[in-house]
Amino acid sequence: MLEVVNPYNLRKVGQVPTVNWDEVDQYLATATALSKDRKARLPDYQRIEILKKAAVLMEGRFEELALLIANEGGKPLGDARVEVTRAIDGLGLCIKELGNNAGREIPMGLTAAGTGHLAFTQREPIGPVVAVSAFNHPLNLIVHQAAPAIAVGCPVLVKPAEDTPLSCQAFVEIMYEAGLPEDWCRFVACDIPTTEKMVTDSRVAFFSFIGSARVGWMLRSKLAPGTRCALEHGGVAPVIVEESADWSTMVPSLLKGGFYHSGQVCVSVQRVFAPKAQAQELANQLAAGAKKLKVGDASHEDVDCGPLIRPHEVDRIEAWVNEAVEEGATLVCGGKRLGNTTYTPTVLLNPAVTSKVSTLEVFGPVVCVYGYDSIDDAIEQANSLPFAFQASVFTKNLDVAMAAIHDLDASAVMVNQHTAFRVDWMPFEGRKQSGYNVGGIGYTMHDMTEEKMAVINL
């Protein structure tokens, strides 16, 4: 059994059964047999009915699921409710995207050789899917990884984060209750060696991973020949502030983007570049807002920032902030632990460009503000790292906005919005070391299918 604790008070909140390799091996064998037996595939309308019923069941357990997210993952209850809403909507997106996940006609009369032929494509499920997930959105990430597989007709094995398996288990059980046969979706809580053996098995057709770059790239390097994959890692998200920016809307946006879920978000606001004449005042205003955020048990209604997922993360962030201050950063607010599991929302001004907080993903409640001489210098520094995910620019100047969109090395550039903004039908992808391939429900459904062409000689 795997015991699950509340990351704030470290009290046990539940447990889930673990499986060994023999059980996983059988799951993979069954998934492979289902994929090969085309007559065993569930028809589209039946999968749609299952997804619709699952959404109704989740709606009926809305508050229960939100409390589960807060208790096992430390996400503040208000944000946990938003996550449940997104997860329910995600099932609806899967249904909608099924109508778009279609083939096309290939024009054949473009040369004499093709004349007299009809060609078209269809999309087929790719085969067994293995999904390994992260802790920070323990329900919605599972929906993004498992529900597309279910929607397109791929058997899926889901391995949740060790810290947050309860939401995943609840989702899988809801799918069963909605009518999905158990062999089509398996909850797999297992140890690291079993996980690696499962992921790298030659029967896996598609591997979906959300987590650290170190683990993701390592697993990708060991995939069996032919296994496709999508990796979502993290970034060190940059924000460019231009002198015309509207601070009345920008400051609240940056506070949300930087301290939402205590910064434990892969596109959390981390590096904010402002004109030198404005940097100190921006840091002061961010600090004033950060000081108002209440830190505590995420299951309490009035808490803004919950705990970090494990005590050693508090130790790490404390060390990184202390290092930044020793290397010349000004500590504007925060900079201290509140206990074994929480850390104060922190604002740093002008850390050294070589400090860890400037070069690596903090994944904690720390926002850094840097003063720049020219916006070109700021964009150059923003682009200087081997990570690139979402970025943003705040400006009232259209030329500046368009230049930032063009010049920032990012998969998405938000204008007058924080870097952590996302809706679930957007493409969501990391560049360089931040990931591989595209997330987002419709894009994942596309990746979990393959195109087959038919050519008919008329």
Q: Which residues are catalytic?
A: 232, 266
Phi and psi angles of residue 152, each rounded to the nearest 5 degrees, phi first: -90, -5
**CA distance readout (Å), 48 to 67, 100, 147, 148:** 28, 14, 11, 11
298 in Cβ contact with 76 (< 8 Å): yes
* Contact in structure between 137 and 165 (CB atoms under 8 Å): no
What tokens appear for 297 in the block?
């048990």
Sign of the dihedral through C-alpha 308, 311, 317, 318? positive
Contact between 97 and 441 under an 8 Å Cβ cutoff? The reply is yes
CA angle 160/165/169 to nearest 5° reads: 95
Helix/strand/coil percentages in the chain, nearest 5 = 40, 20, 35
Phi, psi for residue 332 in degrees, rounded to 5: -85, -35
* Angstrom distance (rounded) from CA 83 to CA 424: 11
